[in-house]
Chain A
Amino acid sequence: MSAVLPPVSPRRRRTDTVMRGVVGVLTGLAILPLVLVLYYLFSKGVGAWSVDFFTTDPSGRFFGSPGGVRSAIVGTVLIVGVATLMAVPFGIGVALYLVEYGKESKFANVVRYFVDVMTGVPSIVFGLFIYITLILATGFGGFAGWKGSLALALLMLPVVTRAGEVVLNLVPDGLREAALALGAPRWRVVLRVVLPTALPGLITGSLLAVARAAGETAPLLFTATIVKGTTLNLNDQMNSLPAQIFNDVRQAQDRIVERAWGSALTLVLMILLLTLIARLVQRRSRLT
């Protein structure tokens, strides 16, 4: 028996090579921006770093030293930290409801649907919403750090819930049934069996949500706003790295722009670190 198939014609062979090449080149194009952005961040950002950069507040002066970004770094950590404390328990709670209690019920599906809706809401609209309900309406005072946290928490909530639902669904039913059969009440099954099993995955999902929130500017502009001084009081107006960068980009002063590059590098490194930790935690998970 000799070969049954006729050889592939040169034209088809050529198309194959060309198209593989095109797909490869386009893939390269997808990665190019990342390489370029990181290259410029390091080449322009590292020069802005100094002890002063991390230890002084923006001076607000046009001439002379523009100051550092201490207040922005402290603000970002605080605002995002508080947002995490609000969004993660809430989000995981909703995910637990969906997986353990709601399942395929009508109400659960409606909740699922609206969580999806929230995922699609532009971040600036969350900022508007917090502005309208907590700043425009009297009784809550003006701009404050915790209002920025709340806007970020709204943004993180659907991300945490969605990721949590996926992970909780991976917990084998056998584990739940074994625990129930041993006489454990439902709540203990959830707290002592389901949650610990899903923990690494839940942490990964939460960290990715944190990483996403840390880079958001739009919801903070008119909730926590942009100020110079460092504060630890969440009731005060609070600076943040993204807002500071947004402010600095629009200044026509080289040293301020240099500070923007330095802040951007700081912010990106913080986010990459979170992403990296998230991936490492994910590796430890035994659920796939």
Chain B
Amino acid sequence: MEAGSAIQGGGRSITERSPLARLPDRIMRWGLTGLAGLILVIIAFFFIRLYIEAKPAFDKFGVFGFTFDNDWDVSKGTFGALALLVGTLITSALALLIGVPIAIATAVFVTELCPRRARGPLTITVELLAAVPSVVYGLWGVFVLIPKLRPAEQWFSDTFSFVPFVATATVAGPNYFIASLILAIMIIPIVSAISREVMATVPAEHKEAALALGATRWEMIRIAVLPYSRAGISGAAMLGLGRAIGETIAVTLVIGNAPQIGKSVFDQGYTLAAVIANEFGEAAADPLHRASLIAAGLVLFVLTLFINLIARYFVMRAQRGQRSVPQGMAG
């Protein structure tokens, strides 16, 4: 309009389009904006609906009572999710302990040590780990990992029984450790992909300076590469944690589904996600049970939300100045 009014005589500028010709532009602009806004609406609706359906459980047991009581007993109709929460935290923490060093090592190997020609194939191979569906890892865990690892676990438990949380009389087939192992495998691709992208941003000057001062390759990695990418690696680990906490099917198959807090990592347990997948079928008839499972989903949602927030903060800090988001984060 401004362009038009600048022309004397009140007519339209010859460069201005007729209102009709500008219509598609507006439609497109507001249509796309509407789509983007729809995402916000969906998420708000999502949260509110989950809360409303979970409310009976929160009313009966209280938000704190539900989250921190250790009494999940379907037959008695009491639902306190502490054992599930603890199970989720144990398996995820253990998965990070196993998976993150391996993922970082893979990233270091690919960016700094391996021959340039092996870089691409190696990257793709690690990423293929993410292409295997959760249920297939579960299948493999049940029929291969559990029977094959059991003697080793028993030996480990007997030999190192003085270490806290290791001793147990007989190792359960499905247990926290197996679940953690599978979770570790599942988070390696994402943690290693983001770590690799962060390590690729280490300025060549830093590395060359270290080498010029006489550092060996490993010393160069230790003093130039790792410190520079520390924030990014922390963020990657947190994103991995978010994945591990929300992972459902593989864990359901290999954790034993016993609503109790195991005394050892070789005991059976349960997680928030697993309880939903496992009990939802039978819960449809009992409103309180159903509300409790939805409440478990809500706790899980809030937990992952929180962790992803921290993760993104770290990754953003690591990538100041870079506009693009690591591809791994999108998938």
* A68 close to chain B: CB less than 8 A: no
Within 8 A of B (CB), among A13-60: 13, 15-16, 19-20, 22-24, 26-27, 29-31, 33-34, 36-37, 40-41, 44
Q: How many residues of B contact A (CB 8 A)?
A: 92
Interface centre among A27, A36, A165, A208 (most CB of B within 10 A): A27
Complex-state Cα separation, A190 to B140, whole angstroms: 47
What A residues does B27 contact at CB under 8 A? 187
Residue-wise, chain A 110-139 has the 8 Å CB interface mask toward B (1 for contact) of 110011111111111100110111001000
* A5 close to chain B: CB less than 8 A: yes
What is the minimal beta-carbon distance from A42 to any residue of chain B, in angstroms?
A: 12
Residue-wise, chain B 305-331 has the 8 Å CB interface mask toward A (1 for contact) of 101100010000000000111010111
Complex-state Cα separation, A12 to B216, whole angstroms: 8
In the complex the two chains form, is B39's CB within 8 Å of A115's CB?
yes
* A238 close to chain B: CB less than 8 A: no
Give the residue of B122, B294, B327 whose beta carbon is less than 8 angstroms from that of A128: B294
What B residues does A133 contact at CB under 8 A? 45, 49
Complex-state Cα separation, A114 to B39, whole angstroms: 8
* B185 close to chain A: CB less than 8 A: yes
Interface centre among B40, B101, B128, B239 (most CB of A within 10 A): B128
In the complex the two chains form, is A162's CB within 8 Å of B330's CB?
yes
What B residues does A63 contact at CB under 8 A? none
What is the minimal beta-carbon distance from B123 to any residue of chain A, in angstroms?
A: 11
In the complex the two chains form, is A257's CB within 8 Å of B143's CB?
yes
Complex-state Cα separation, A185 to B23, whole angstroms: 10
* B50 close to chain A: CB less than 8 A: yes
What A residues does B221 contact at CB under 8 A? 19
Contact flag A122-B273 (CB < 8 Å), given A97-B32, A114-B39? yes
Give the residue of B35, B249, B281 whose beta carbon is less than 8 angstroms from that of A93: B35
Chain B: CB-nearest residue to A4 = B214
* A229 close to chain B: CB less than 8 A: no
* A212 close to chain B: CB less than 8 A: yes
What B residues does A40 contact at CB under 8 A? 140, 143-144
What A residues does B136 contact at CB under 8 A? 37, 41, 215, 245, 264, 267-268
* A231 close to chain B: CB less than 8 A: no
Pick out which of these stretches binds chain A: B77-85, B158-166, B296-304.
B296-304
Q: How many residues of A contact B (CB 8 A)?
A: 95
Complex-state Cα separation, A249 to B125, whole angstroms: 27
Give the residue of B22, B137, B330 whose beta carbon is less than 8 angstroms from that of A166: B330
What is the minimal beta-carbon distance from A163 to any residue of chain B, in angstroms?
A: 5
Chain A: CB-nearest residue to B130 = A212
Complex-state Cα separation, A124 to B169, whole angstroms: 34
In the complex the two chains form, is A128's CB within 8 Å of B140's CB?
no
Chain A: CB-nearest residue to B298 = A125
* B105 close to chain A: CB less than 8 A: yes
Complex-state Cα separation, A131 to B297, whole angstroms: 12
In the complex the two chains form, is B219's CB within 8 Å of A12's CB?
yes
Complex-state Cα separation, A131 to B124, whole angstroms: 36
* B57 close to chain A: CB less than 8 A: no
In the complex the two chains form, is A93's CB within 8 Å of B106's CB?
no
Complex-state Cα separation, A128 to B283, whole angstroms: 13
* A81 close to chain B: CB less than 8 A: no
Give the residue of B50, B133, B140, B307 whose beta carbon is less than 8 angstroms from that of A132: B50
Give the residue of A19, A41, A217 whose beta carbon is less than 8 angstroms from that of B135: A217
Interface centre among A19, A154, A162, A260 (most CB of B within 10 A): A19
* B154 close to chain A: CB less than 8 A: no
Pick out which of these stretches binds chain A: B229-237, B240-248, B259-267.
B240-248
* A222 close to chain B: CB less than 8 A: yes
What is the minimal beta-carbon distance from A80 to any residue of chain B, in angstroms?
A: 12
In the complex, besides A129-B50, A218-B273, 7 extra interface pairs with C-beta distance below 8 angstroms are A19-B221, A110-B40, A118-B43, A122-B245, A125-B297, A163-B327, A211-B131
Q: Using a CB–CB distance below 8 Å, which chain A residues touch chain B?
A: 5-6, 8, 12-13, 15-16, 19-20, 22-24, 26-27, 29-31, 33-34, 36-37, 40-41, 44, 90, 93-94, 96-98, 100-102, 107-108, 110-111, 114-125, 128-129, 131-133, 136, 154, 157-159, 162-163, 165-166, 169, 185-187, 190, 205, 208-209, 211-212, 214-218, 221-222, 242, 245-246, 249-250, 257, 260-261, 264, 267-268, 271-272, 275, 279
Q: Using a CB–CB distance below 8 Å, which chain B residues touch chain A?
A: 17, 21-22, 24-25, 27-29, 31-33, 35-40, 42-43, 45-46, 49-50, 53, 101-103, 105-106, 108-110, 113-114, 122, 124-126, 128-129, 131-140, 142-144, 185, 188, 192, 214, 216-219, 221, 239, 242, 245-249, 253, 273, 276-277, 280-281, 293-294, 297, 300-301, 304-305, 307-308, 312, 323-325, 327, 329-331
Instruction: Name 18 A/B residue pairs within 8 A (Cβ), A-sorted.
Output: A8-B216, A16-B218, A30-B105, A30-B106, A107-B36, A114-B43, A118-B43, A120-B304, A124-B276, A166-B324, A169-B323, A208-B331, A211-B131, A217-B248, A221-B280, A221-B281, A242-B249, A272-B131
